[in-house]
Amino acid sequence: MISGLRRQRSLHRWEPRAEAPAWRVMLVTLAAVGVAALVVTWVFVAYGVAPGEAWATIVRRTLLEPRGLSETVRKAIPLLLAGIGLLLAFRARFWNIGAEGQILAGAIGATAIALFTELPGPLVVPAMFLAGMLAGAAWGAVPALLKARMGVNEIITTLMFNYIALYLVRWLINGPWKARSATGFSYSERFPADAVLPTLGATRLHWPTLAIALVLVAVVALLLARSRFGFEVEVLGRSPEAARYAGIDAGRVTLLLAALAAGAAGLAGVGEVAGIHRRLVEPTQLSLGYGYAAILVALLARGKALAVVPAALFLGFVFAAGDVMRVSLRLPSQLPDVVTGLVLLLVVASEPLTRGRWVRRDPAEVAVAAPVAAPVAATVDEPAAGAADASAEGGG
Amino acid sequence: MKPEEHLQPRLSLRGIEKRYPGVRALAGVDLDVFPGQVHAVLGENGAGKTTLMHVVYGLVAPDEGSMTWEGEPLRLRSPREAIARGIGLVAQHFHLVERHTVAENLALGFPDAPFWRPTRSLLPRLRAAAERYGLALDPRAQVRDLSPGERQRVEIVKALMQGARLLVLDEPTSVLTPTEVDALFAVLRRFVAEGSSVVFVSHKLAEVEVLADAVTVLRRGAVVGRRSAADGLDRRDLARLMVGRDLAATVADRGRARAAAIAAGPVRLRLTDVRVDAPGRAQRPALHVASLEVRGGEIVGIAGVAGNGQSELVAVVAGLRAPSAGTVEVDGREPGSGRRRRGARNQVDAGVALVPEDRTKVGVVGDLSVARNLALRHAHRRPFARGMWIDWQAVARHSQSAVEAYDIATPSTGTPARLLSGGNVQKVILARELDRDPGVVVAVHPTYGLDVAATSQTHERLLAAAGRGAAVLLVSEDLDEVLSLSDRVAVLAGGRVVATMAAADADPEALGLAMAGVAA
């Protein structure tokens, strides 16, 4: 034995787990959020703001004061809608990055109904929601069709569709739909009163959208847990090969999922124009990056539909806290983006921690190190033809 | 130059043993390879040839046994050590970077190549090796543009440039055209004429006969015979050794007793003029079956070397892909005809069961529970489906009874399938596929990698399914299995059924020859 050739083995061994217990997942997620909070605290200090006072202000103005709380919930509405849709899409490994564009498409659909149809009063709002949902679904169905029929990577197409939607809105409010009164900023005409959503008291909380969002979350939770469609989504997401064997039409399921997800995002767009702005406005004001933040909502919820509610509320808090930092603490307006970015990074990075743990190696095991881990050590003669293909993972 | 008895072997293996869970891949193999010799290692798929070559190349550490290299003890911890000694391997599947040029791929095999412009210093050596053995290669060509034969040439040149004195080729001709095979043999002859050695792994008798100086035949991990070219190589003799002569004595009786009953049974599976085109090669379809019928109660074994149309046949019958032309009828009807094609679901509804080749990736969803896997292919129907909803209680009840009936060892029906052993995963699949009395059963390598007990249970289940009137199509590379279970055997070669015979009368020699693509 030539002992000098042997590599030093570490004293710990990674032990994968069969099933991550729920408490561990929650603990890891909370720890990730906690680390993000620590980094933000450091940013406060770096900007010369007393961290204790800063946090107190933020908590008071986003959670304790009624008006602040309503802002937090209001910002959670589009995140709920887009987030539950993305959760559904991600369950089947359809990596939809296009919720932002689908929100804008929904807003366009709602605006078209609000400004250019002559429906009787009580029908206007339902028609707007329907149109917004269909517009969003259509926007999301194109990349899904491209993926199902031609295998085009949906990450690229959904992302690019965001820009198409953004410039489409810009063209509309600068061109055919531009308000006569608009001089400096561009926007559309104001919606008639029938096309505006009621809000809760003096707040900007447009409760009909919130109600729709909560119902949708419940419906998706039920679909995933109890329906044939939910089972097909589950199988497809975990093993596309087994799904084909099980007779699941991957193209149809993907298309349906993508349309559902995008339709939900479209509803979020309706809520923003009909509940907040009351006209079609500049796309970056219309959606403050809700479509991207919704990706984080879906990831934080880790596949559990009902967990979207706390996840969306948390992100709503981050958005509302961003306003407080900007207005009350006079911190740069980019800071909320830093926070969402940090949380996203930490949540994704902490994912492996839910799937196993480090355990101390047996000292004897360290001493008697096995020679070399051969890459094909598990192969018994000619591996069966299908086993050679390791590129089964979908989604890239 | 022929090896003499007194010559020292270049490579010598003694009592090489390798066990995997449930399989004895190598059972005490001895092998001597002399300088100037082409030594063929002959055996069916699964006989242990590749494992043995991985041992020689340092990819697999044997559990027992010893090796010597030119008289000195040889212990290999990695392929790098094997290369350093002068052992080169041309694997069955090439290990080349598609988007790199030939020269760049070669440079990857040389750790001492300079960091900057690593390919430049190699070019003279490449040219020398190419001229010496007649291996023409364009060093600037991208590997992805090369034919399989040219890629193999790159691998051979790589091994030669690394100074190989023993070249191991694992099924080298499986991807080659006849002309390329001739060229390869010329190179190998030139190589051994210089006193080097070749280990030629194959199951093709004709090639072994032409090329080999010595032959070692493996069956089920053990050496069952040795032959030398000096004493003359006989193809029939080798075929008998490879396949085993003690075949299926019991089948004859069973076959005759059942033949009458089967002849009276209805045709449950009928393929007519079924063609599956290979991508980009319309003139040579991957599968072309003019006619294949399986009657109720009958087991038809599909014998053949992997890659001769088996996977296409299975996919077409099970509905995983649509044939390019022709019809597949189940009980006289094409599943799903008259409506939109729904893939495998049509077949499931028509009563076609499939025990797939890849049981862990295709046959079950590893992350899902045993209960859900037991319902995997039937979740859209009663009793599991109620309209658009799934009755999970019905799924749970069914899983309880299936676990008992099929003796599935699992902590609970809620356990993820990936935690089960291979044998128990197969039981889950069999329980799901056979429990509903399917009309047609397709079983692909149903006992591959299983231990003896699980194997015999699987066999019993398949026989019982046939006994209940199912038409069974058994695809296996294990000829013993095919012959002992089947009533009839069809041999696939080049995508065509080249021979059909009653299993009871099947002559192993004729079978082996047909499988190897040799007209008997």
Spell out the domains of chain B, with CATH numbers in brackets: 11-243 (3.40.50.300), 249-351+436-515 (3.40.50.300), 367-432 (no CATH)
For residue B155, the model assigns a pLDDT of: 87
- pLDDT of B215 above 60: yes
Question: Is the residue at A118 inside a domain?
Answer: yes
Backbone φ and ψ for B36, nearest 5 degrees, come out as: 75, 20
B23 CB neighbours in chain A (<8 A) are: 380
Condensed to tens digits (0 to 9), the pLDDT of residues B353-371 reads 999 988 888 999 988 999 9
Q: Which amino acid is at B220?
A: R
What 3-state DSSP class applies to B121? coil
> Which one of A228, A241, A242 has the shortest CB-CB distance to B388?
A228
What 3-state DSSP class applies to A152? coil
CA of B225, closest CA in chain A: separation in Å?
19
B92 touches chain A (CB under 8 A): yes
Q: Which amino acid is at B497?
A: V
A66 upstream amide cis, omega within 30 of 0: no
**Total H helices, total E strands in chain A:** 15, 2
Backbone φ and ψ for A38, nearest 5 degrees, come out as: -60, -45
Cβ count within 10 A of residue B266: 12
Per-residue confidence band for B264, with pLDDT thresholds at 50, 70 and 90: low
For residue A219, the model assigns a pLDDT of: 95
Of B93, B390, B419, B433, which to mutate for an interface test with A (greatest number of A Cβ within 10 Å)?
B390
Residue A246 domain boundaries: 76-307
**Cβ contact (<8 Å) for A386 and B344?**
no
Of B295, B291, B293, nearest in space to B258 by CA: B295
- pLDDT of B266 above 90: no
For residue A171, the model assigns a pLDDT of: 94
Q: What order of strands is seen across the sheet that includes strand B197-202?
A: B87-90, B166-170, B197-202, B38-42, B214-219, B222-228
Question: Is the residue at A313 inside a domain?
Answer: no
Greater pLDDT, B432 or B127: B432
Backbone φ and ψ for B7, nearest 5 degrees, come out as: -65, 145
Return all residues near B355 (Cβ < 8 A) that are at least 6 apart.
B363, B426, B429, B430, B433, B441, B442, B443, B444, B446
**Total H helices, total E strands in chain B:** 17, 21
Q: What order of strands is seen across the sheet that includes strand B11-20?
A: B23-33, B11-20, B64-69, B72-74
**Cβ contact (<8 Å) for A226 and B25?**
no
Q: How many domains does chain A have?
A: 1
B348 CB neighbours in chain A (<8 A) are: 247
Question: Is the residue at A267 inside a domain?
Answer: yes
> Which one of B364, B366, B385 has the shortest CB-CB distance to A228?
B385
For residue B134, the model assigns a pLDDT of: 77
For residue B433, the model assigns a pLDDT of: 92
Condensed to tens digits (0 to 9), the pLDDT of residues B134-173 reads 777 788 888 877 777 788 888 888 888 888 899 999 888 7
Q: What is the DSSP letter of B10?
A: S
**Cβ contact (<8 Å) for B363 and A245?**
yes
Structure tokens at A105: 């498409």
Return all residues near B414 (Cβ < 8 A) that are at least 6 apart.
B369, B370, B371
- pLDDT of B423 above 50: yes
Condensed to tens digits (0 to 9), the pLDDT of residues B124-137 reads 777 877 777 777 77
Return all residues near A277 (Cβ < 8 A) that are at least 6 apart.
A187, A285, A286
Per-residue confidence band for B87, with pLDDT thresholds at 50, 70 and 90: very high
A369 CB neighbours in chain B (<8 A) are: none
A246 CB neighbours in chain B (<8 A) are: 344, 376-377, 379
Residues B172, B152 contacting (CB under 8 angstroms) = yes
Tell me the pairing of strands B11-20 and B64-69. Answer: antiparallel
By CA distance, what is A249's nearest residue in B? Answer: B342
Residues B482, B504 contacting (CB under 8 angstroms) = no
Condensed to tens digits (0 to 9), the pLDDT of residues B227-250 reads 888 887 787 788 778 766 443 334
Residues comprising chain A, all counted: 396
Could you tell me the end-to-end alpha-carbon distance of chain A, in angstroms, rounded to an integer?
Answer: 43
Could you tell me the end-to-end alpha-carbon distance of chain B, in angstroms, rounded to an integer?
Answer: 33
Q: What is the DSSP letter of A188?
A: B
User: pLDDT in tens for each of the 396 residues of chain A?
Assistant: 444 444 455 666 666 665 667 787 888 888 888 888 898 888 888 888 888 888 998 899 889 988 889 999 999 999 999 999 999 999 888 899 999 999 999 999 999 999 898 888 889 999 999 999 999 999 999 999 998 888 899 999 999 999 999 999 999 999 889 888 877 788 888 888 888 888 888 888 899 999 999 999 999 999 999 999 999 999 999 998 899 999 898 888 999 999 999 999 999 999 999 999 999 998 888 888 899 989 989 988 888 899 999 999 998 998 888 888 888 888 887 877 787 788 778 877 887 777 666 666 655 544 444 444 334 333 333 333 333 333 333 333
For residue B171, the model assigns a pLDDT of: 82
Average pLDDT along chain B: 82
What 3-state DSSP class applies to A16? strand
Return all residues near A278 (Cβ < 8 A) that are at least 6 apart.
A190, A191, A196
Question: Is the residue at A390 inside a domain?
Answer: no
Of A235, A241, A382, which to mutate for an interface test with B (greatest number of B Cβ within 10 Å)?
A382
Of B323, B316, B348, B314, nearest in space to B446 by CA: B314
| CA–CA gap between residue B42 and residue A285 (Å, rounded) | 73
- pLDDT of B413 above 60: yes
In the block, which residue shows the tokens 């390791």? A390
Condensed to tens digits (0 to 9), the pLDDT of residues B174-202 reads 666 666 778 889 889 998 998 899 999 88
**Cβ contact (<8 Å) for A381 and B45?**
yes
Question: Is the residue at A7 inside a domain?
Answer: no
**Between chain A and chain B, how many beta carbons pairs sit less than 8 Å apart?**
139
The secondary element (H helix, E strand) that includes residue A265 is helix A250-271
B92 CB neighbours in chain A (<8 A) are: 382
Question: Is the residue at A355 inside a domain?
Answer: no
Q: What is the DSSP letter of A383?
A: P
Greater pLDDT, A384 or B505: B505
Per-residue confidence band for B257, with pLDDT thresholds at 50, 70 and 90: low
Question: Is the residue at A317 inside a domain?
Answer: no
